[in-house]
Amino acid sequence: MVSIAITAKGQVYNKGLDRLSSEIRTAFEKKYASTSEENWVRVDNSILISFRSGDEYYDAFFDEKGKWLRTETAIRFEQLPKNVQDSLKTGEFSSWQKGSVLKVELPGAAENYRIYVYSKDWNEMEVNFDKSGKRII
C-alpha cells in the first residue's frame, strides 16, 4: 500500500466498487476475480483501485474507459530479480539507502521495478528498472 500513500496523498478513498462506472468495475472484476477490501480513488485521469488478493495488497490503475494501465505491489528488496539487485548494489545508487520497492506489472506481460532510494543527506529519488536490471528513465 506504499504507492497509495505516495500517489494519492490527501485523497479521499471510496469503499467498495459500487460507485465506479460499469466499464471500470467489469474490467477490474475480469482481471482480478478474487479480491477483498476494495477501495478506489481518482488520481489525475485514472482510477486507482487498492485491494487485497490472498495475503497480498495491490494497487491497480485503470483509465476512465476501463482499460487496465498497471498494477503495483510492494515487495522486499530480496524479491527483486538478481539483475536489478546487482544494478542497485554496484551502480550509481550503490551508496544510497534503499527504501520501498514496488513491482509494476504492465500490459503485454511486462514488469518493471520502482525503488525509492535516499542519499546520505536524505534526498529521495525514485528509480525504475526493467527485469534485466537496466535503468528506465
Residue entry with cell 486507482: 48
pLDDT in tens, the chain (137 residues): 444 444 445 567 888 888 999 999 999 999 998 999 999 999 989 999 999 999 999 999 999 999 999 999 999 999 999 999 999 999 999 999 999 999 999 999 899 999 999 999 889 999 999 999 999 98
Q: Is the domain 2-69 a CATH 3.10.450 member?
A: yes
> Is 0.95 topped by the overall pTM?
no
What are the residue ranges spanned by the domains of the chain? 2-69, 76-136
Q: CA angle, corner 100, sides to 133 and 90, nearest 5?
A: 35
Instruction: Write out the DSSP string of 99-135.
Output: EEEEEEEEGGGEEEEEEEEE-TT--EEEEEEETTS-E
